[in-house]
């Protein structure tokens, strides 16, 4: 969780009102959080006048990956979440579409339901975001009268972040606020990020790494893990004289072969891809204990789907145990092997998986049943939570 740094104070600005705009105790949906994200985005582009439509389109782009790629829950009544799914399903847009491409598509879309949703958002979000700046004026006012009062007050002075021009369907950021938010971009963005992560964590309490699921992921590098598995395949294909194969591994009917846990076909280094047993878009890491060598065709087919544990869990666990033993007994060096130790240390077990080269293995501290139990007890609940989040099963 990021640290919540207080916003810099400025005598002529009502900073506490801005902080109350995103007070989590009063947020029942995601709208204000993504509205402010859109506002910061436009300020960084030096735009001071922004149409309602542009703001809503930016809100959609800011939460696209969180909703579709990472399947985060915003709450059962959240209309932004629903709108993202509507666009995705009707127009068959991929979850991985770039923000630039998505914005271009949304700016040119002609869709009655989409336009209706935009109107519904602009009926409330631009106004209610400013409510804390006029609490004294709004006290006791009926809800249906607040919008007109907030707009009128916003145009009288520069007390609030922006002025609302409903007749032109736009907002105008006040100069003093524009300067403050632009000059303090790093701090304000960090403060907003903290609020957003906390909001999403409350609605996704069992989901790992929420902080890394609020924007498009960075490019990953699997080269070390890939090299590790190539070394394992080579070691298995060329066992020492008299070695009958690695203990604990039933994925090969004969020594000298590693088989795809899904198809039973022999894996060759030239046709090897690495599959995330639990999808990467859920766990957000590339640790060895969640990776398995598979054919390129299988990896493409499975993609972000979950495996059937009844069919594949034990084969996967056997494969992992084989890889760990082979690495130790063959003297394979790889920093990625530390992943196994981290896994064991995080399971509060009395017999954690020792790191590579630890003499504890040869002394019998780690047993096959311990290793497999740790992995089984890690994979099973992750699989269940991911399925509850909407990740489908691969058949």
**Same-domain status, 193 and 152:** yes
**Same-domain status, 186 and 292:** no
**Same-domain status, 230 and 205:** no
Q: What is the mean pLDDT of residues 269-277?
A: 90
- Let me know if residue 371 belongs to a domain: yes
Q: Is the pLDDT of residue 21 over 70?
A: yes
- Which residue, of 213, 234, 257, is where some domain finishes? 213
- Which residue, of 160, 186, 213, is where some domain finishes? 213
**Same-domain status, 197 and 281:** no
- Let me know if residue 60 belongs to a domain: yes
Residue 248 banded pLDDT, cuts 50, 70, 90: very low
pLDDT at 351: 46
Q: What is the mean pLDDT of residues 237-255?
A: 52
Q: What global pTM score does this model have? A: 0.68
Query: 283 near 209, Cβ under 8 Å?
Result: yes
- Let me know if residue 305 belongs to a domain: yes
- Let me know if residue 74 belongs to a domain: yes
**Same-domain status, 42 and 177:** yes
**Same-domain status, 169 and 108:** yes
**Residue-wise pLDDT tens digits, 44-83:** 888 899 999 999 999 999 999 999 999 999 998 999 999 9
**Same-domain status, 239 and 305:** yes
Residue 252 banded pLDDT, cuts 50, 70, 90: very low
Pairwise CA distance, residues 169 & 296, whole Å: 50
**Same-domain status, 121 and 171:** yes
Residue 362 banded pLDDT, cuts 50, 70, 90: very low
Taking each helix axis from N to C end, the angle separating 31-44 and 175-183, rounded to the nearest 10 degrees, works out to: 90
Q: Is the pLDDT of residue 307 over 70?
A: yes
- Let me know if residue 8 belongs to a domain: no
**Same-domain status, 179 and 35:** yes
SS (H, E, C) the chain: CCCCCCCCCCCCCCHHHHHHHCCHHHCCCCHHHHHHHHHHHHHHCCCCEEEHHHHHHHHHHHHHHHHHHCCCCCCCCCHHHHHHHHHHHHHCCCCCCCHHHHHHHHHCCCCHHHHHHHHHHHCCHHHHCCHHHHHHHHCCCCHHHHHHHHHHHHCCCCCCCEEEEHHHCEEEECHHHHHHHHHCHHHHHHHHHHHHHHHHHHHCCCCCCHHHHCCCCCCCCCHHHHHHHHHHHHHHHCCCCCCCCCCCCCCCCCCCCCECCCCCCECCHHHEEEEECCCHHHHCCCCHHHEEEEEHHHHHHHCCCECCHHHHHHHHHHHHHHHHHHHHHHCCCCHHHHHHHHHHHCCCCCCCCCCCCCCCCCCCCCCHHHHHHHHHHHHHHHHHHHHHCCCCECC
Give residue 253's domain range: 223-388
- Let me know if residue 4 belongs to a domain: no
Min mean pLDDT across 146-150, 154-158, 342-346, 366-370 is at 342-346
pLDDT at 360: 40
**Residue-wise pLDDT tens digits, 186-224:** 788 889 988 999 999 999 998 888 988 888 776 677 888
- Let me know if residue 3 belongs to a domain: no
**Residue-wise pLDDT tens digits, 84-139:** 999 999 999 999 898 889 999 999 999 999 999 999 999 999 999 999 999 999 88
**Same-domain status, 200 and 68:** yes
Q: How many domains does the chain have?
A: 2
**Same-domain status, 263 and 349:** yes
Q: What is the mean pLDDT of residues 346-361?
A: 45
Q: What percentage of residues in the chain have a pLDDT greater than 90?
A: 50
**Same-domain status, 227 and 359:** yes
- Which residue, of 187, 213, 239, is where some domain finishes? 213
- Let me know if residue 317 belongs to a domain: yes
């Amino acid at each position: 969780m990021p640290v919540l740094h207080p916003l810099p104070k400025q005598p002529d600005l009502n900073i506490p009102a801005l902080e109350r705009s995103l007070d989590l105790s009063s947020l029942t949906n995601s709208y204000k959080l993504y509205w402010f994200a859109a506002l910061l985005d436009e300020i960084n582009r030096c735009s001071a006048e922004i149409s309602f439509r542009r703001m809503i389109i930016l809100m959609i782009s800011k939460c696209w990956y969180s909703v579709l790629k990472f399947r985060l829950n915003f709450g059962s009544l959240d209309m932004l979440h629903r709108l993202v799914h509507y666009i995705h399903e009707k127009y068959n847009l991929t979850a991985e579409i770039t923000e630039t491409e998505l914005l271009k598509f949304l700016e040119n879309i002609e869709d009655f339901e989409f336009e209706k949703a935009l109107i519904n958002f602009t009926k409330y979000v631009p106004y209610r975001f400013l409510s804390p700046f006029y609490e004294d004026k709004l006290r006791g006012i009926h809800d249906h009268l607040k919008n007109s009062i907030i707009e009128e007050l916003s145009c009288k002075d520069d007390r609030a972040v922006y002025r609302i021009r409903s007749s032109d369907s736009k907002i105008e950021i006040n100069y003093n606020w524009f300067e403050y938010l632009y000059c303090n971009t790093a701090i304000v963005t960090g403060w907003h990020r903290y609020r957003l992560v906390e909001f999403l964590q409350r609605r996704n309490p069992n989901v790992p790494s929420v902080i890394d699921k609020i924007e498009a992921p960075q490019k990953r590098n699997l080269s070390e893990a890939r090299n590790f598995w190539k070394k394992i395949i080579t070691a298995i294909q060329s066992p020492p004289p008299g070695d009958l194969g690695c203990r604990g591994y039933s994925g090969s009917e004969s020594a000298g072969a590693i088989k795809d846990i899904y198809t039973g076909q022999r894996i060759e280094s030239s046709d090897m891809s690495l599959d995330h047993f639990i999808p990467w878009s859920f766990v957000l890491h590339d640790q060895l204990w969640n990776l398995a060598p598979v054919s390129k065709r299988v990896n493409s087919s499975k993609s972000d789907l979950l495996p059937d544990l009844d069919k594949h869990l034990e084969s996967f666990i056997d494969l992992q145990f084989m890889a760990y033993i082979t690495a130790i007994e063959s003297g394979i060096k790889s920093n990625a092997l530390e992943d196994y130790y981290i896994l064991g240390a995080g399971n509060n077990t009395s017999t954690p998986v020792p790191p590579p080269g630890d003499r504890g293995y040869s002394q019998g501290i780690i047993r096959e049943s311990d290793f497999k139990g740790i992995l089984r007890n890690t994979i099973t609940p992750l699989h269940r939570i991911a399925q509850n989040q909407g990740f489908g099963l691969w058949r």
